[in-house]
């Protein structure tokens, strides 16, 4: 048997199997089992004319065979993660970055390199993505629309349609096939951070670019930052050109950890999703909870509005950690109006239906009964400690008033 094919995943295999084997198909031929981590920043060049030609190719966003030449051009460990993620998203290629925001930035710059600086976007988006678009920090102009208004907002200079579904933080869902049809020739970028390719593969619906904050579910343990865009090879070349010239690289150790994360992604997402479904049902039946949003496609996140003070609920939790970010092994809860979506202004929050009573819970791999016990105690504590006048409590906005600073949001 050819050892090269020993562990090569193929379309015959299920998603779970490909998640374990993708990016590792040459390991048997290399005579190793764990993925090698290449930390080189530079590489010995024995063929100088060949290296010069390869450098031209790298500058054009290509991936020539042979030496990586320099750590900013490509890295073998990171490439394994890119190939694996591309395969799981059903795309030709993927390009990894230092963070999710670096991936968003490169995507916007890629559109701008075609002279297309106008973006059409649907709220809500992750707060810093919204902020990056609204602030014009990258020289882009954004038109915010509802999901039905995309086609009407397109202009000749529109370079990107940007959406999240399920969206951060409300978990609002969008019809991707309809959005792709409305976008027409304009690339549709879908931030798939919350769904992961386990639950949704946007390219199957016509999305040209599929973005992840890899910091979340792909890494899965709260200990690695990264971003990645899965797309066609043509778009990948432009993204690589931008990465080459701007330097927002994924570190090789992060590439290793993200590839390792992919192997357990289906198991983690399905387990957390089952627990989250149960907890969402229990929350919906609880008198201390006014509204629950749990996506129709499932997932580990729950958005819910409490009757009392959300700060008191969070403060009374003992097992669930109050923290931004999501998608790890342990459960995290946060108050979007104070944290992830604080950087956007009141009208943007109102448009995205990000109310003062909203909490976002990322369910981890703990047992659902332990998580529910923690939540039930916290909800009861907030009901006891809360105002005697429920109408006054409801009307009160516990969100601390903002200072005039540019950016402050975590993930
Ligand atoms: C949906 C979504 N997209 C993008 C980002 C940005 O990713 P990062 O924090 O890795 O830069 C986040 C971070 O929370 C996110 O939730």
Is 126 near ligand 1, meaning CB less than 6 Å away?
yes
**pLDDT the model gives residue 225:** 98
Ligand 1 midpoint to CA 393 (Å): 32
3-state SS, residue 273: helix
| Model confidence at 391: pLDDT above 80 | no
Q: What average pLDDT does the chain have?
A: 93
| Model confidence at 134: pLDDT above 80 | yes
Could you say which DSSP state residue 223 is in?
-
**pLDDT the model gives residue 393:** 45
pLDDT > 90: what percent of the chain? 90
Is 144 near ligand 1, meaning CB less than 6 Å away?
no
Q: What is the DSSP string of 157-197?
A: TEEEEEEESSPTTT-----HHHHHHHHTTSPEEEE-TTTHH
Domain ranges of the chain: 266-395
What is the residue with the minimal CA distance to atom 9 of ligand 1? 411
Q: What's the average model confidence in pLDDT over 149-174?
A: 98
| Model confidence at 394: pLDDT above 50 | no
What is d(CA 154, CA 283) in angstroms, rounded to the nearest whole number? 40
Q: Minimum mean pLDDT among 128-132, 348-352, 391-395: which range?
A: 391-395
Is 338 near ligand 1, meaning CB less than 6 Å away?
no
Is 295 near ligand 1, meaning CB less than 6 Å away?
no
Nearest atom within ligand 1 for CA of residue 225: 10
What is d(CA 111, CA 225) in angstroms, rounded to the nearest whole number? 24
What is d(CA 45, CA 384) in angstroms, rounded to the nearest whole number? 70
Question: Which of the listed residues 127, 128, 327 should we mutate to test ligand 1's pocket, taking the one with most ligand atoms within 8 A of CB?
Answer: 128
Ligand 1 midpoint to CA 213 (Å): 5
**pLDDT the model gives residue 405:** 44
Is 258 near ligand 1, meaning CB less than 6 Å away?
no
Is 327 near ligand 1, meaning CB less than 6 Å away?
no
**pLDDT the model gives residue 390:** 44
Ligand 1 midpoint to CA 32 (Å): 34
Is 219 near ligand 1, meaning CB less than 6 Å away?
no
**pLDDT the model gives residue 400:** 74
Element (H, E) at 54: helix 48-59
| Model confidence at 406: pLDDT above 50 | no
Contacts of 285 (CB under 8 A, 6+ apart): none
pLDDT > 70: what percent of the chain? 91
Confidence category of residue 1, pLDDT binned at 50, 70, 90? very low
**pLDDT the model gives residue 410:** 58
Confidence category of residue 399, pLDDT binned at 50, 70, 90? confident
**pLDDT the model gives residue 384:** 74
Nearest atom within ligand 1 for CA of residue 214: 10
Is 99 near ligand 1, meaning CB less than 6 Å away?
yes
Place of tokens 């010069």: 52
Confidence category of residue 343, pLDDT binned at 50, 70, 90? very high
Q: Minimum mean pLDDT among 175-189, 204-218, 363-377, 382-396: which range?
A: 382-396
Its CATH class, for the domain covering 266-395, is alpha beta
What is d(CA 13, CA 22) in angstroms, rounded to the nearest whole number? 11
| Model confidence at 408: pLDDT above 50 | no
| Model confidence at 195: pLDDT above 60 | yes
Angle among Cα 211, 338, 404 to the nearest 5 degrees reads 95
Beta bridge partners of 364: none
Q: Which residues are catalytic?
A: 72, 126, 191, 216
Is 215 near ligand 1, meaning CB less than 6 Å away?
yes
What is the residue with the minimal CA distance to atom 13 of ligand 1? 411
Ligand 1 midpoint to CA 108 (Å): 15
**pLDDT the model gives residue 289:** 98
Cβ atoms within 10 Å of 139's Cβ, excluding its own: 9
What is d(CA 82, CA 84) in angstroms, rounded to the nearest whole number? 5
What is the residue with the minimal CA distance to atom 10 of ligand 1? 100
Nearest atom within ligand 1 for CA of residue 164: 1
Ligand 1 midpoint to CA 218 (Å): 12
Element (H, E) at 328: none
Confidence category of residue 407, pLDDT binned at 50, 70, 90? very low
The predicted-structure confidence for 253-284, as pLDDT tens digits, reads as follows 999 999 999 999 999 999 999 999 999 999 99
Nearest atom within ligand 1 for CA of residue 325: 14
pLDDT higher at 324 or 383: 324
Ligand 1 midpoint to CA 163 (Å): 13
The predicted-structure confidence for 2-59, as pLDDT tens digits, reads as follows 444 455 556 679 999 999 999 999 999 999 999 999 999 999 999 999 999 999 999 9
Q: What share of the chain is helix, strand, coil (3-state, %, to 5)?
A: 40, 15, 45
Beta pairing, strands 321-322 & 332-334: parallel
Is 164 near ligand 1, meaning CB less than 6 Å away?
yes
| Model confidence at 124: pLDDT above 50 | yes
| Model confidence at 409: pLDDT above 60 | no
Which is nearest to 163 in space by CA: 186, 139, 138, 192?
192
| Model confidence at 100: pLDDT above 80 | yes
The predicted-structure confidence for 294-321, as pLDDT tens digits, reads as follows 999 999 999 999 999 999 999 999 999 9
Cβ atoms within 10 Å of 65's Cβ, excluding its own: 6
What is d(CA 383, CA 91) in angstroms, rounded to the nearest whole number? 49
| Model confidence at 75: pLDDT above 50 | yes
Ligand 1 midpoint to CA 360 (Å): 14
What is the residue with the minimal CA distance to atom 7 of ligand 1? 100
Ligand 1 midpoint to CA 411 (Å): 5
């Amino acid at each position: 048997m050819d050892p090269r094919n020993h562990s090569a995943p193929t379309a015959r295999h299920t998603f779970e199997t490909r998640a374990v084997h993708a990016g590792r198909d040459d390991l048997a031929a290399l005579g190793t089992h764990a993925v090698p981590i290449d930390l080189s920043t530079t590489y010995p060049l024995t063929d100088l004319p060949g290296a010069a030609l390869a450098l031209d190719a790298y500058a054009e966003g290509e991936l020539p065979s042979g030496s990586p030449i320099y750590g900013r051009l490509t890295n073998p460990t990171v490439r394994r993660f890119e190939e694996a993620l591309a395969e799981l998203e059903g795309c030709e290629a993927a390009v990894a970055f230092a963070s999710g925001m670096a991936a968003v930035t490169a995507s916007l710059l890629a559109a701008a390199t075609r002279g297309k600086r106008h973006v059409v976007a649907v709220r809500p988006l992750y707060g810093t993505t919204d902020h990056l678009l609204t602030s014009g920090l990258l020289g882009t102009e954004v038109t915010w629309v509802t999901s039905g208004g995309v086609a009407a907002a397109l202009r000749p200079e529109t370079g990107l349609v940007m959406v999240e579904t399920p969206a951060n933080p409300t978990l609002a869902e969008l019809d991707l096939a309809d959005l792709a049809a409305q976008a027409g020739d304009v690339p549709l970028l879908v931030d798939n951070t919350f769904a992961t390719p386990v639950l949704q593969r946007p390219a199957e619906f016509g999305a040209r670019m599929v973005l992840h904050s890899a910091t979340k579910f792909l890494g899965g343990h709260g200990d690695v930052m990264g971003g990645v865009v899965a797309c066609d090879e043509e778009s990948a070349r432009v993204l690589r050109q931008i990465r080459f010239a701007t330097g927002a690289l994924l570190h090789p150790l992060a590439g290793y950890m993200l590839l390792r994360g992919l192997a357990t992604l289906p198991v983690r997402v399905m387990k957390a999703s089952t627990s989250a479904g149960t907890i969402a049902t229990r929350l919906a039946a609880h008198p201390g909870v006014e509204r629950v949003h749990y996506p129709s496609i499932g997932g580990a996140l729950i958005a819910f509005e409490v009757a009392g003070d959300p700060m008191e609920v969070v403060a009374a939790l003992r097992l669930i950690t109050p923290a931004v970010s999501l998608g790890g092994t342990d459960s995290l809860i946060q108050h979007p109006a104070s944290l992830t979506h604080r950087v956007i202004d009141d009208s943007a929050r109102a448009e995205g239906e990000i109310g003062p009573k909203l909490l976002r819970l990322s369910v981890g791999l703990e047992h659902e009964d332990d998580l529910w016990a923690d939540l039930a105690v916290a909800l009861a504590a907030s009901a006891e400690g809360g105002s005697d006048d429920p109408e006054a409590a409801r009307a009160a906005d516990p969100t601390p008033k903002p200072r005039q600073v540019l950016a402050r949001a975590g993930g």
